[in-house]
Amino acid sequence: MKARLPYIAGFLLLLGVEICIGVFYFSKFIRAYIGDVIVVWVIYCLLRSFVPKRFNSYAVAMGILAFSFMVEFLQKAHIADILGIENQLLRIIIGTDFAVADLWSYAAGTLVTIIEIFIYRRLTERNRHGIQKD
Q: Are the CB atoms for 49 and 2 separated by under 8 Å?
A: no
pLDDT the model gives residue 72 = 95
Phi, psi angle pair for 101, to nearest 5°: -60, -30
> What single-letter DSSP state applies at residue 30?
I
Q: What is the pLDDT of residue 31?
A: 86
106/109 Cα distance (integer angstroms): 5
pLDDT in tens, 75-124: 999 999 999 999 988 888 888 899 999 999 999 999 999 999 999 999 98
Q: What pLDDT is attached to residue 134? A: 47
The pLDDT tens digits of the residues spanning 23-59 come to 887 788 998 899 999 999 999 999 999 988 889 999 9
The answer to whether 46 and 8 are in contact (CB under 8 A) is: no
Give the separation between CA 107 and CA 95, rounded to whole angstroms.
18
